[in-house]
A and B are shown apart, each in its own frame.
Chain A
Amino acid sequence: MIPRTVVSSADPIHGVATMLSHPFIQHAFVAGTTIALLSGLVGYFVVLRGQVFAGDALSHVAYTGALAALAAGVDLRFGLFAATVLVGLALGFIGGRRAADDVVIGTTFAWVLGLGVFFLALYTTHSSTGNGSANVTVLFGSIFGISASAATIATVIAAGLIGVLLVIARPLMFSSIDPTVAAARGVPVRSIGPLFLAIVGATAAEASQAIGALLLFGLLAAPAAAAQQLTNNPWRALPLSGMLAIVAVWSGLCLGYAAPKLPASFAIMTVATAEYAIAALVTTAKSRSRAAPSHDHDMAPSRDHEGFPLSSDEIPSPNG
């Protein structure tokens, strides 16, 4: 389906040049890079705020929205964005943080997926152009199938979303870590939560075009979790998460190109998973090697008020 020349040259530079000379690869790289950066940045906050399952829910909604649009005969992206952004806002306003329990969320979103299957059946039985590949595209993405115009639109939207996210980054961080104090300091905590979930929804819609509704959740979670393992400085972890997502997409694209049998979205997900696994191993090894010498120091009972500048050695006696 996709024109691909086998890389016969042993010269890697020549090979990369050949690869990048294909327009479909160029589109994939342009769209993939911005979508990956967006997913990595948004994913960091998703993991920080403990809203991973809201992200999962929105990816289910992305599937149903896309197929509803196909069944209704409108542009797939229209259904994607409308469904995910609206449900994101609704989750933000109704749910708050982790309000509903897992049974309710799971049952509801299983039904949302079931509804997606219903739209799929509608689409394939009632539409003359309907075919099975549209379903696979929505589920697992087709980053090599992105057209020039689709790549441009995806890039512009992703860039805009990144801009919005960077503008609200600091208040969002504040209200994620410390909502009460942030509210007291005048951060609009109540509107920033739903706004963020709307951004997550739009990110899900973007990412599902690249790696599909079922896998986008991994691109949100894996680089962010890896970045959190590697650094405790949030303002370093945030760009690191974005960069890890870009690395995953780039290496996934190269792997998918070099081995045409590997679906690109599988390659991307594999690299992202490997990133997390490596980060977790590095952190475990580091903390194990650090734990040995400093262990007794950490356990010292007087540590809590050690180095305290004021006299604190007396037990309080109100009469004193």
Chain B
Amino acid sequence: MRPIDDSRVVVSLEHAATTVGGRTIWSDVTLQVRAGEFVAVLGPNGVGKSTFLKALLGLQPLSAGQLEVLGTHQGRQNARIGYLPQRRAFDPSTRIRGVDVVGLGWDGDRWGIPLPARFGGRHAREGDERVREVIELVGATSYAYRPIGECSGGEQQRLLIAQALVSRPDLLLLDEPLDSLDVTNQASVSALIQSVCRSQGVAVLLVAHDVNPILRYLDQVIYLARGGAVMGPPEEVITADTLTMLYGTPIDVLRDRAGRLVVVGQPDSHTHHHSST
């Protein structure tokens, strides 16, 4: 395990902007994410949360500003990034075991075919061990050898998180990993992500449409808007004043009896999406 260095800046944006099809998605985004931080990326639908992760991966070019990931330009260090794209279910007939899907995260980008560990050299042996370790870490040991198509949504999601973790990333980009999980699973997956973040000093950027299930695990939140972004501790950012200023329309933040946050008045069609649980 590498020593945790909390001061290390993992992601840094300065006045960054991006356009898709001539339309500005977000602009003037300036923020920094440090090692070991658990950060949620929030904002109304269509504000470009997934595009933000793609920009960090170098899959989406910037139209202005600066972006550094792991100390270099976007897209240069992708082997050190674990990425979980937006919810994708495997076809029920997919006859590939979960452990193979996780293993592809270890060496799927290498040419050739994997050899049995005996002939495969150090990297392959290490890979076998690491795959077993990470599957145990996410608690997927009991179903990792079944075809992934037969696993439930929550089981598939655990295996995919294991795939993102297997190459010991320094940065974890998760796009709505809690989507389509039930409440219990949302809590346990959030706790898992937090523990990985703390124990291994990994920076986590998690896109969510509902902040409530992850609220108590978070260090920081980022709210994206077309003209900028705010970042800070949740209790400072998710307030009526901050959000009203960011979006330029009156926004209220309410707390219901269970302590859940409800953001009302965001500039999109789904006003109540924060209360969707």
Contacts and interface: CB of A to CB of B under 8 A. Distances in A.
Asked whether any CB of A lies within 8 Å of a CB of B in the complex, the reply is: yes
A168 B113 CA distance: 8
A319 interface: yes
Given A185-B78, A307-B142, A170 B154 contact: no
Contacts of B108: 170-171, 173-174, 178, 182, 185, 187
A318 B109 contact: no
B137 interface: yes
Contacts of A307: 139, 141-142
A182 B135 CA distance: 20
Give the size category of B's interface with A: 35 or more
Contacts of B97: 232-234
A226 B177 CA distance: 34
B79 A185 contact: yes
Nearest to B261: A318
A171 B110 CA distance: 6
Contact of A305 (B83, B110, B185): B185
B109 A186 contact: yes
Contacts of B131: none
A170 B139 contact: no
Interface stretch (B12-20, B30-38, B189-197): B189-197
A24 to B, nearest CB: 34
Interface string B229-246: 000000000000000000
Contact of A318 (B91, B139, B142, B259): B259
Given A184-B81, A304-B185, A309-B137, A170 B107 contact: yes
Contact of A170 (B85, B112, B185, B215): B112
A132 interface: no
A82 to B, nearest CB: 28
A310 B59 contact: no
A168 B111 contact: yes
Nearest to B84: A181
B215 A318 contact: yes
B184 A171 contact: no
A48 B94 CA distance: 8
A184 B83 contact: yes
B259 A184 contact: no
A181 B191 contact: no
Interface stretch (B1-9, B98-106, B264-272): B98-106
B64 interface: no
B44 to A, nearest CB: 20
Given A170-B111, A170-B114, A310 B188 contact: yes
A316 B212 CA distance: 8
A184 B95 contact: no
Contacts of A177: 94, 96, 101, 104
Given A312-B188, A316-B187, A317-B258, A305 B139 contact: yes
Interface residues of A, number: 45
Contacts of B78: 184-186
Contacts, number: 141
Nearest to A320: B216
Given A186-B78, A316-B187, A317-B259, A304 B152 contact: yes
A308 B259 CA distance: 26
Nearest to B211: A318
A10 interface: no
Contact of B191 (A173, A174, A312, A315): A312
A177 B156 CA distance: 13
Nearest to A185: B109
A180 interface: yes
Nearest to A307: B139
Interface string A156-180: 0000000000111111011001101
Given A305-B185, A305-B188, A181 B154 contact: no
Interface in B99-150: 100-101, 104-105, 107-114, 136-137, 139, 141-142, 145-147
B95 A306 contact: no
B25 interface: no
A203 B184 CA distance: 50
Nearest to B163: A181
A150 interface: no
Given A167-B111, A169-B112, A174 B79 contact: no
A314 interface: yes
Contacts of B95: 228-229, 232, 237
A14 B266 CA distance: 85
A184 to B, nearest CB: 4
Nearest to B93: A228
Nearest first, the 5 closest Cβ-Cβ pairs linking A and B are A174-B108, A312-B188, A319-B259, A318-B215, A308-B139
15 contacts: A167-B111, A170-B111, A184-B81, A228-B95, A232-B145, A235-B100, A235-B113, A306-B142, A308-B139, A309-B137, A309-B139, A310-B188, A316-B213, A317-B258, A318-B261
Given A180-B83, A180-B88, A308-B188, 17 more contacts: A170-B107, A170-B108, A170-B113, A174-B109, A177-B96, A181-B85, A182-B104, A182-B108, A184-B57, A186-B79, A233-B97, A304-B182, A306-B139, A307-B139, A307-B141, A315-B187, A316-B183
